Structure 1
Amino acid sequence: MSSLVLRFKEYFSNWRGFHTAVSEVSSEEGSLAASSHAGGLGFDYLNVRVGDLVDGRAVTEILHQSNNALIFMNYEGVRYFYRGVSLRTKVLIYKLESLMHEGGIKFRGAHKFVLDDYRVSILRIILSADSSRVEVEDDLFQPLLHFIDNKPKVEYVFENNPRFVVFLSEMNEVSYQLRSSAEFSAKALSEFRRLKAMGHASLSGRQVEAFNYSIASGLISALREPDDVEGCFSMARNYLDKALSNRVGIHLAFSVFGVLVLVLVVLGGVYFSLSTSLTQNLNMLLAGVSGGMIGAAISVLQRSKDVRAVVFDSHGLLVLQAITRLGLGCCFGVIAIIASKAGFFFEMFVGDHKKMFLLAVVAGFSERIMPEFIERVIEEK
């Protein structure tokens, strides 16, 4: 309770400033009448019905009704009137509105539906206690204080209207608040939560920021046009697919390039250490391995731009598949050189190291030349 008292002392230096602050809250939010001065003395609260015009606006729902107080909903939100209440009741209402103002600043209006629920619940208790001449408990405002203190701050509001709010919290997550969930498509909300979970699990850094804007735009469109949920979220879905594919492609390219450089360095070391003019077979083997690997690397890198990643797929598995493709390229290069020397095909390349190396590159690049050659040899045998 002491923290609550400190908040009020800090916020209100005197009674006049206190009343002015509450008036500012009322005019800023446009969703309540703070006291009976706002027109609450001219009619009988008990005679108000849904559909009646009160203060120029139609009543959509009556939340509390008594001789001295009226709390109701219109298309703008929660409004209320009161009269003939005690000074302590007025002070409690002013304290409530100061907390509403604090929450409005922190949340930028994003949690207005929840704050309205707190406002209505606390007002009912305060006004009912005044009518019954019952003392209000000191911890009346603690649930509201807990909500304001523990909810993350809102950084940006994408859309704020009487039916829903879409906003970005300080946790860098897009969230929403609905006046009534029954008014909106469950499919739209389900698709939003699915894409949001995939995006935060798969993206990072600036990619998340860009994704947040696209998914917020999609959610707003889906809440307005529930008949085209797929179309509303297409931009967010395409961005997620493209970002994942780009990241996997880059990861794949760096991995293949690293393995290629490492193997070529090892083969170069073997060549300069062991190769002589007398080791022709070793030279052919090195040419086949290096040429086949270079050809396979060219093939993998050329196709990396067309990689289509799926959320939650293992990137390590894709890299392993690419490295396996490099290994196959080495094998194809060696087989191509041996087959050429044996007279099975491309006999004109035999004896020329440069041509043999190019043959190994072609064999490593193509995924069909050597498998088809092997199949043909098997069929002939």
Structure 2
Amino acid sequence: MENDTKLGKSKLSLKQGDIWFGKEVESVHVRGSDYIIYTMVGDDHCSWYYELKDERIDEALRVLNESQVKISYKFRGVVSGVISRLILNAVRTIFGERENKDAIASAIIALEQKIDLLVGVKVVIAQNEKFKVWMTEDNRIVHHVKKAFMTPEVGEAVKEFKILESFAIAMLPLKNHSLFFRRLAAAFAGRLESANDPLISGVFEELRLYVNKTVENGLKVRYLSIAFLITFIIVGLTFLIHRSHFFSGFLQQAIVAVSGGVLGAFISVLERSKNIIISEHETDALIFMQCVVRVFLGGVFGLILVSAVVSGVAFTLFSHSSAAMLLLGVVSGFSERLIPELIQGISMHGDKQEP
């Protein structure tokens, strides 16, 4: 590498790898007869130098600097690769089209218009000489890693981050996005800083588990809410019918038992809700049908039980009390094995009696 003294004769001779006032030249973009556009290691965007002073270039660069102030304010000093390329294209036009006033004006206007279209920075998560991680105002995570620090480990970290980010966008409810993506951005910054640390790499897995549990808990809430609504409607209707005395005899007892069966099924759902495992890939329609089927089976079990009592097949001691019939209905709905085992027992007894 050449030192500052040798390069002091002419800055136009700068090349990649040279040291200029303690900083290394990362790349030279354009070199003209009287100007050079280059980037120093650690800088966010390009720099330039020119020897033959020109009022048109001075004015264009003054306007460009005003745009950079606006950029710094909107993006809180964090400049992405996209913005860097926009600035570089504008500088190239200023020097390359110095005789074309309209081209220079159009390039600066185009830069400002594109900057206005970009979403501003909401918060800077991490920023150093190696990388930057920030969140935009629409809760997107953006990162920029210097080429000199782009290692296979860093590339793997970026890949894991993109996969988890896409998964979270697809699965998480919008109300959870802001908090989750702040956590993800912080984890991603730590992963970039210590790409080889196994403890840091495990953070992504913890966040993936958080997404799974959040989605699963949301589905559980909907599952229990639907079960409660269906139970409330069925029990309410059966109570009104029972109070109206529209039916009598077996039908009146059947209404009580069905109501008890539905209540028993709902109690079973609540009692086992901690152990319910719902895949995040299940649809709302499937969850709704699971609720309907579970509550419906409770009612059916209650109906079968009252039939067994009235016919004298089983539980005949409970045949004279509506309260006892309700209790039996609750038990039949709560226990998923009681009625199937009763049916199986009746079937086996019938087989034994065949000649």
TM over 0.5: yes
RMSD over aligned Cα, in angstroms?
3.0
The farther-off stretch of 263-272 and 299-308 is 299-308
Report whether the alignment pairs 1:169 with 2:144.
Answer: no
Letter of the structure 2 residue corresponding to residue 90 of structure 1 = D
Q: Residue in 1 aligned with 2:179?
A: 210
Cα deviations across residues 185-207 of structure 1 (Å, max 9, x unaligned)? Answer: 55544544444344344444542
Q: Which runs of 5+ in 1 are unaligned?
A: 1-38
Distance 1:308 1:186 in 2: 35
Q: Contact 1:110/1:165 (CA < 8 Å) preserved in 2?
A: yes
- Which of 28, 46, 64 is residue 96 of structure 1 equivalent to? 64
Q: Residue in 2 aligned with 1:156?
A: 123
Cα deviations across residues 122-172 of structure 1 (Å, max 9, x unaligned)? Answer: 323333455xxx334231223312211111222222223344433222223
Distance 2:313 2:9 in 1: 106
Distance 2:191 2:270 in 1: 39
Residue pairs, 1:174-323, within 5 angstroms: 174-180=141-147, 183=151, 188-204=157-173, 206-226=175-195, 231-274=202-245, 279-311=248-280, 313-323=282-292
Distance 1:312 1:178 in 2: 34
- Which of 318, 322, 335 is residue 353 of structure 1 equivalent to? 322
Letter of the structure 2 residue corresponding to residue 304 of structure 1 = S
Q: Residue in 2 aligned with 1:115?
A: 83
Distance 2:125 2:6 in 1: 35
Distance 1:233 1:160 in 2: 20
- Note the C-alpha offset of 1:182: 6.0
Q: Residue in 1 aligned with 2:48?
A: 80
Distance 1:307 1:186 in 2: 38
Q: Secondary structure at the match of 2:107?
A: coil
Q: Secondary structure at the match of 1:233?
A: helix
- Note the C-alpha offset of 1:252: 1.9
- Note the C-alpha offset of 1:41: 9.3
Residue pairs, 1:26-105, within 5 angstroms: 42-66=8-32, 68-77=34-43, 78-105=46-73
Distance 2:309 2:97 in 1: 100
Q: Residues 217, 371 of structure 1: CA spacing in aligned structure 2 closer, same or farther, 3 A cutoff?
A: farther
The farther-off stretch of 329-338 and 205-214 is 205-214
- Note the C-alpha offset of 1:284: 2.0
Report whether the alignment pairs 1:135 with 2:100.
Answer: yes
Cα deviations across residues 81-104 of structure 1 (Å, max 9, x unaligned)? Answer: 333321221221122121122112
Q: Which runs of 5+ in 2 are unaligned?
A: none
Distance 1:124 1:222 in 2: 36
Q: Contact 1:218/1:232 (CA < 8 Å) preserved in 2?
A: yes
Letter of the structure 1 residue corresponding to residue 209 of structure 2 = N
TM-score (ref. length: structure 1): 0.77
Q: Residue in 1 aligned with 2:302?
A: 333
- Note the C-alpha offset of 1:216: 1.7
Distance 1:150 1:47 in 2: 37
The farther-off stretch of 331-340 and 170-179 is 170-179
Q: Secondary structure at the match of 1:159?
A: strand
- Which of 112, 137, 147 is residue 145 of structure 1 equivalent to? 112
Distance 2:279 2:110 in 1: 43
Q: Secondary structure at the match of 1:108?
A: coil
Cα deviations across residues 52-73 of structure 1 (Å, max 9, x unaligned)? Answer: 2102112232223345333333
Distance 1:86 1:362 in 2: 94
Report the number of matched residues. Answer: 338
- Note the C-alpha offset of 1:307: 4.0
Q: Contact 1:188/1:222 (CA < 8 Å) preserved in 2?
A: yes
Letter of the structure 2 residue corresponding to residue 52 of structure 1 = D
Percent identity, aligned pairs only, is 25
TM-score (ref. length: structure 2): 0.82
Distance 1:230 1:42 in 2: 46
- Note the C-alpha offset of 1:271: 0.7
